[in-house]
Amino acid sequence: MTSVAPRLLIESFGLVGYQLKDPPDLDQVRYDVVAKVPPGATAQEVRVMMQNLLMERLQLKIRHEHQVVPVYALLIGKRGPKFKPSSEPIDPAKQGLSRSSTGPGVVKLAAVGQTIPQLVSALFQQTDHPIMDMTGLSGKYDYTLTFASRRSNELSAMSPDPRVDDAPTIFQAVQDQLGLKLEARKMPVDLVIVDSGHKIPVEN
């Protein structure tokens, strides 16, 4: 596995990106991780092994902290979801989330066999606050979502295009196209804060 320390920490602790607060210099180094996993180890056990490995080799000083922060709660709209569960079995060749553009600053997401947490991850890239899944929906779904990206106003000013002006905001698109809604709230979240660490791993 090759990645930067923050990505490794996010995966090992099972976090969403906004939950990790790390020193900027840890973002600048990529690491090759080679480790043997005992036969029969569960996913949770593997994550704990990775946590211990990172903390030991990078001498990380980590603490957990609860903070009340502005978030968007992802809720089901009054008329219910407008997307359907994926048909089983899901074709692995088609499963995934594709991103395309229908014009300057206009984004189209097409999902096949995707979970709500995966939708939340995609939406988070287009908002200024974390998104909390409060839909209660499980399973995998197919949907399409078209909206003006966060850079659409900048692009429209540089090169006016009526398609940008006509495209809905991410908030409008989630409500009109998916039957969900993003509601501004303040909620406590668990943050993992890295106070210090070494860029150069210590020897075994």
Two tokens at 70? 């502005």
The secondary structure element, H or E, covering residue 186 is: strand 180-196
Tracing tokens 């090169």 back to the chain, one arrives at: 159
pLDDT, residue 4, reads: 56
- pLDDT tens, the chain, 204 aa long: 555 567 778 888 887 777 888 766 666 667 677 777 778 888 888 888 888 888 888 888 888 898 898 999 999 999 999 999 998 898 888 999 999 888 778 999 999 999 998 999 889 888 888 899 999 999 999 999 999 986 544 444 444 455 555 789 999 999 999 999 999 999 998 888 888 877 777 776
Give the global pTM. Answer: 0.68
Question: Cα–chain-centroid distance for residue 200?
Answer: 28
Residue with tokens 């992802």: 74
In this prediction, residue 27 carries a pLDDT of 65
